[in-house]
Amino acid sequence: MTRDELAIALRAIVGPRGVLSRPAELLPFSADGLPTYHRPPKLAVFPSTREQVIDVIRLFAREQWPFVPRGAGTGLSAGALAGGDAVIVGLNRLTRILSLDPVNRLAVVEPGAVNVSLTRAAGAFGLYYAPDPSSQSACTIGGNVAENSGGPHCLKYGVTVNHVVAVTVLLPDGEVVSLGGAHGETPGYDLLGAFVGSEGCFGIALDVTVRLSPNPPAVRTMLADFTSIDAGARATSAIIASGILPAALEMMDGPTIRAVEASIYAAGYPADAEAVLLIELDGLEAGLDADARRVEQLCLDAGARTVRTARDERERARLWQGRKKAFGAMGRVAPALVVQDAVIPRTRLPDVLRTIHDIAQRWRIQVCNVFHAGDGNLHPNIGYDPRDSDATDRVHHAMREIMRACVDAGGTITGEHGIGLDKLEYMPLIFSPASLDAQCRLRAVFDPDRRANPDKVVPQHACREWTQAPAARAAATVPA
Amino acid sequence: MTATRDTPPACALPGTLPPLADALPGIMTCVHCGFCLQACPTYLALGDENDSPRGRILLMRAVAEGELPVDDPDVRRHLDRCLGCRGCETACPSGVPYGQILESARATLNQRQPPPRIARLVLAVFATHHPLAATLWAARVMRGSRLAALLARLPGRVGFSFAMLAASAPAMPARPYATRGRGTRGTVAALRGCVMEGLFAHVNRATERTLEENDYHVTPAPGQRCCGALHAHAGDLVGARALARANIAAFERAGVDYIAVNASGCGLMMKEYGHLLRNDPAWAARATAIAQRTRDASELLAAAGPVAGAPMALRVVYDAPCHLVHGQRLHHEPLAVLAAVPDLVTTTLPNADQCCGSAGIYNLLQPELAQRVLAPKLDEIAQDGAPLVATGNPGCMMQIGAGLRRGHIAARTVHPVELLDASYARHAHGVPAPRR
């Protein structure tokens, strides 16, 4: 089957408005939220019903055609890009919340349901969906499952895998299987755990059953400002060491603060601070103020200039808006932006941040740090002009050095953005060849032909059977 | 930023035409984060990123950089589908000046391929004085003869147009009264507008009375024209600039402290006169000065309180016009106007900040999509059950009004100042206002 024939067959399934094949219209799908990678796909299909998704994937299975599932395209690891012959399968039209069960605190959603729409719908029952990536106003639950997304509140409440109880999966061969169960643990191996975070390489989630959490009865949101990053990092370690577990503990450095304050999401962060900590405590009203006073004292001891508590919901929302829109706000700093995602042991925050600062100076680039300090998940943002090839090169060198520094400090290469294409080259930094090969073999259980989101997550050359069996590879090769 | 906003970047690429090249720095502010997607009515309706702000910005950038030809039909189609509601600007953390980029892109595209005939006809009529007056006169006659109400039952675009006309009739009878303001808050000239004065003269009079009642001294500004918003949004920047210059001269002659505008689309246009004429040395400073004195009528009223009127036990649901809430960033002012009516129970539509699909002449050019954008708004109004929908823009009043009429939903649209005016009229006719 040629690509044109495939397009005709896909139109027969999803209708003429569900297939894009002209280069201009495919342009918006050549990148996700990370602007450094551009891979214009040659075809994109947008099913609007579960049945259409199944028919599309079965067509791909018959034709041995590769595909890349995509939600809202807000990812930050270039994971939803389709190179070569791979077809984009956009799931953003399947946005329904299929059921919401406030008694059992469960909801079943289609993969394209937007994260925040679930929290909005659950709000009527005093419930919410806990994982809150900063892109929650746009990103989809299906994408969250693929990336095992985190968010500021994951420090206390855990990441996506802790809130997904069951997924109906459409395997790349077209078979529909149920993983997990809505009511308690399922016996046998935790295949659901393997699927969450598989970055679209194990199949497509047709529906996702998630756990809803009750809104905390009381919340205190505090902002502490510091004249140095070190002081902010010291306060972070002190708070965690004290035994208090904040719902969120976020840090922003001076350049980030100034970008946010210049945006329409200006949150009232002190513009002359070199670091602010956004600390949220939640739980029962009783004892919360005592914890807040303790946190305030720990911040002051670490060198905070001021610590203030949001007086009402409006001020709290404003403080959070500044944090959640920080990534976008940096668009003011430079025409393009890359964001790195690494995790380091919390105690190493001060020296790793200093190393990042030194790397930035050496490569003459500007780094803005905005990150989940509480769990040591760093997000150095680097603004640059992609039309300046020298600057682009320097940014790439610096990114590599930053990543290496994080790994050297005992950290790892992603906290929540996933590997995608962007971190593929770092995988050998943290995994042995045997470990990588084991991951290849796990993937082969779900997707033996490597047609679902090909060339992502595990470098292909790391798969022993792949490199050792050219005949198998030839058999799986897709017709041009 | 490597280039300033007012000078085309040095790297203007082959094939780039001036207006869009000028917008390239604004285009480059987009970091592709996707936060705009859920704020875009056409993306929500169609589920195609080409019909989202992020997608359109990429298409415009590809044209600006010479990657796609200026007359690419796909680019044209997806830009034509944009409402220009600017909901994305409110959602954008990077501050991408989307509305201005869109106008530049449309101007560039129009240089190769003119807009559809119907659009050119409408713009030509609005740019002239007598044909516009004659058209609006004929529309009023039609509306008064109740023929409009009959024709409003026709299917499709024609029937909807007559339903819009029928919806422009006053929802509540105006009762003129002698205003008692002291004129101490400054002098104000009101933009009469074309559709406003032609079909919503009752709202214009209500605006003047309520401003006077709140101590503004209202004076006329003869010589004013259409604001040029329809032209600018359609990419006819030349036409928009000509109208802008006429208005700037007229309001300069009036010599007032403020220019009050009760149509939010027109108000936003006038507030952007400085940008529109930024490259015109003779007019740039004058345009900025007029823009800085322009206020939405609700801004002036809210700044004065406004003074409370007599009680009116009524229910009203508020819907924010896009060019007020996203363009002018005014959230509370219209609600303050409604709050000055004692006993008026005001609710806000759950998605009040989403476009109704009116968008200037969009509902003429993209009737099917305009209906899809309108549908959820009508559902929300029916759900709310209020008999009145308050919104401060003639296009929205007619679009929503027509949808309600054709959807057999028993609600009418009003301008917020109409309710305040009615409350003042009741007071003037003897119903006491509660002590403030």
pLDDT grade for A466, boundaries at 50, 70 and 90: low
Whether B411 is covered by a domain: the verdict is: yes
Chain B interface test: which of A14, A27, A120, A381 (most B C-beta within 10 Å): A27
Taking 60 as the threshold, does the pLDDT of residue B326 lie above it?
yes
Distance in angstroms (rounded) separating the CA atoms of residues A285 and A283: 6
Residue B86 domain flag: yes
Q: Which of A18-27, A258-267, B251-260 has the lowest mean pLDDT?
A: A258-267
Give me chain A's average pLDDT, please. 91
Q: Is A24 on the interface with B (CB under 8 A)?
A: yes
Secondary structure element (H or E) that encloses residue A178, with its range: strand A176-180
- A385: contact with B, CB 8 A cutoff: yes
Quote the pLDDT of residue B10: 38
A94, A109 Cβ separation under 8 angstroms: no
Is it the case that residue A472 has pLDDT exceeding 80?
no
Neighbours of B160 (CB within 10 A): 24
**Are B93 and A331 inside 8 Å of each other by CB?**
yes
Note whether A149 and A139 are within 8 A (CB): yes
pLDDT of residue A439: 93
Q: What is the pLDDT of residue A330?
A: 81
Confidence of residue A474 (pLDDT cuts 50, 70, 90): low
Q: Do B74 and A114 touch (CB under 8 A)?
A: no
The sign of the CA dihedral B416, B418, B419, B425 is positive
What is the pLDDT confidence band of residue A141, given thresholds at 50, 70 and 90?
A: very high
Q: Rounded CA gap, A117 and A128, in Å?
A: 10
- Is B137 part of a structural domain of the chain? no
SS3 A368: strand
What is the mean predicted confidence (pLDDT) over B148-166?
91
Q: Is the pLDDT of residue A478 over 60?
A: no
**What whole-number distance in Å separates Cα of residue B215 and Cα of residue B180?**
8
* Structure confidence at residue B22 (pLDDT): 85
| SS3 label, residue B389 | strand
**Both tokens assigned to A458:** 């595990």
**Residue B167 located in a structural domain:** no
- Domain total of chain B: 2
pLDDT tens column, A209-252: 999 999 999 999 999 999 998 899 899 989 999 999 999 999 99
Q: Out of A34-38, B91-95, B212-216, B249-253, pick the least confident.
A: A34-38
The residue with greater pLDDT, A103 or B429, is: A103
Q: Is there a domain that residue B262 lies in?
A: no
What does the pLDDT average to over A294-312? 95
pLDDT value at B106 more than 90: yes
Distance CA(A319)–CA(A267), nearest Å, equals: 5
Residue that is written with structure tokens 């740039």 in the block: B284
A92 near B CB under 8 A: yes
Per-residue tokens: A203: 């199949």
Q: Which residue has the tokens 């929300």?
A: B380
> Which of B110, B143, B168 is at the close of a domain?
B110
The ipTM (two decimal places) reads: 0.91
Q: Residue B63 domain-assigned?
A: yes
Note the pLDDT of residue B296. 98
Structure tokens at B41: 């009515």
Task: Select from B80, B110, B140 the last residue of a domain.
Answer: B110
**A11-36: per-residue pLDDT in tens?**
999 999 999 999 999 999 999 998 88
pLDDT at residue A471 above 60?
Answer: no
In angstroms, the Cα distances linking A375 to A72, A156, A292 are 26, 10, 19
Residue closest to A392 by CA, chosen among A401, A402, A403, A382? A382
**Residue B156 half-sphere exposure toward CB, CA atoms < 13 A:** 2
Query: Which residue has better confidence, B22 or A310?
Result: A310
Alpha-carbon distances, residue A319 vs A157, A313, B2, B65, B81 (angstroms) = 20, 10, 30, 38, 35
Distance from CA of A218 to the nearest CA of B (A): 26
Calculate what percentage of chain B has a pLDDT beyond 90.
80
pLDDT at position B51 over 60: yes
SS3 A179: strand
Range of the domain at B50: 20-110
pLDDT at residue A469 is higher than 60 = no
User: Are residues B239 and B204 in contact, defined by beta-carbon separation less than 8 angstroms?
Assistant: no
Q: What are B47's two structure tokens?
A: 């589920």
Buried b / exposed e across B227-259, counting CB within 10 Å, b at 16+?
bbbbbbbbbbbebbbebbbbbbbbbeebebebb
Q: Which two tokens stand for residue A402?
A: 């930053």
Between CA B341 and CA B433 the distance in angstroms is: 9
Which of these three, B110, B137, B172, is where a domain ends? B110
Separation CA A294–CA B139 (nearest Å): 70
Nearest to B49 among A24, A28, A325 (CB): A28
In which band, very low, low, confident or very high, does the pLDDT at B11 lie, cut at 50, 70 and 90?
very low
Asked if B193 and B226 count as a contact pair (C-beta separation under 8 A), the reply is yes
**3-state class (DSSP) for residue B119:** helix
- Using an 8 Å Cβ cutoff, are A38 and A78 in contact? no
Is the CB of residue A90 less than 8 Å away from at least one CB of chain B? yes
Residue A467 confidence (pLDDT): 56
**Residue A28 burial (CB < 10 Å; 0-12/13-18/19+)?**
buried
The token pair that represents A214 in the structure block: 């009750």
With beta carbons less than 8 A apart as the criterion, state whether A392 and A337 touch: no
- Opening angle at CA B240, ends B238 and B245, nearest 5: 95
Domains of chain A: 3-90 (3.30.43.10), 97-214 (3.30.465.10), 216-331 (3.30.70.2190), 431-476 (no CATH)
User: Taking CB atoms and an 8 Å cutoff, what residues of chain A touch B34?
Assistant: 32-33, 72-74, 135, 138-139
Distances A86 to A64, A81, B228, B230 between C-alpha atoms, Å: 11, 9, 47, 43
Q: Is A76 helix (H, G, I), strand (E, B) or coil?
A: coil
- Answer yes or no: is pLDDT of A115 > 60: yes
Nearest to B270 by CA among B300, B289, B294, B240: B294
- Residue B6's pLDDT band (cuts 50, 70, 90): very low
Please tell me the distance from the alpha carbon of residue A236 to that of residue A252, in angstroms, as a whole number.
Answer: 12
Q: What digits encode the pLDDT tens for the residues B271-305?
A: 999 999 999 999 999 999 999 999 999 999 999 99
**Chain A hits for B58, Cβ within 8 Å:** 27-28
For residue B223, the tally of other CB atoms under 10 A from its CB is 13
What's the rounded mean pLDDT across residues B321-325? 97
Residue at token pair 């790397």: A359
Residue B28 CB-density burial (10 A; 0-12 exposed, 13-18 middle, 19+ buried):
buried
- Predicted confidence at residue B71, as pLDDT, reads 92
In degrees to the nearest 10, what's the CA dihedral of B203, B207, B210, B214? Answer: 170
Q: Is A455 helix (H, G, I), strand (E, B) or coil?
A: coil
Helices (H), A93-214: 115-123, 141-147, 154-157, 191-195
pLDDT beyond 90 at B5: no
Provide the number of CB pairs (under 8 Å) joining chain A to chain B: 111
Q: Which chain B residues are Cβ-neighbours of A92 within 8 angstroms?
A: 47
Average per-residue pLDDT for chain B: 92
Instruction: Note the pLDDT of residue B200.
Output: 96
Nearest chain A CA: its distance from B392 CA (Å): 24
Q: What is the CATH number of the domain that holds B98?
A: 1.10.1060.10
What mean pLDDT is predicted for residues B331-346? 97
pLDDT level of residue A465 (50, 70, 90 thresholds) = low
Contacts of B95 in chain A (CB under 8 A): 263-264, 329, 331-332
A375 vs A415: CA distance, rounded Å: 9
**Does A470 score more than 80 pLDDT?**
no
Residue to mutate among B24, B30, B33, B43, with most A CBs inside 10 A, is B33
Q: Which residues of A135-164 are buried (b: 16+ CB within 10 A; e: fewer)?
A: bbbbbbbbbbbbbbbbbbbbbbbebbbebb
Above 80 in pLDDT, residue A185?
no
Angstrom CA distances, A79 to A87, A201, A429, B234, B397, stand at 14, 10, 19, 37, 45
pLDDT at B7: 39
List the CATH number of the domain containing B421: 3.40.50
Q: Give the helix ranges, DSSP H, for A347-478.
A: 349-362, 389-408, 427-430, 433-446, 464-468, 470-476
- Residue recorded with tokens 């929908």: B389
On the 0-12 / 13-18 / 19+ scale of CB atoms within 10 A, B4 is exposed
Taking alpha carbons only, the member of B202, B256, B215 closest to residue B414 is B202
Q: For residue B308, what is the DSSP state? A: P
In a domain, B84, yes or no: yes
Summarised one tens digit per residue, pLDDT across range A437-449 is 999 999 999 999 9
In angstroms, the Cα distances linking B112 to A160, A401, B79, B99, B109 are: 50, 48, 14, 21, 6
Give which of A21, A46, A96, A332 to mutate to test B binding, by max B Cβ within 10 Å.
A332
- Is B4 in the A-facing interface, judged by CB distances under 8 Å? no
Read off φ and ψ for residue A338, nearest 5 degrees. -115, 150
Q: Does B94 touch chain A (CB under 8 A)?
A: yes
> pLDDT class for A265, splitting at 50, 70, 90?
confident
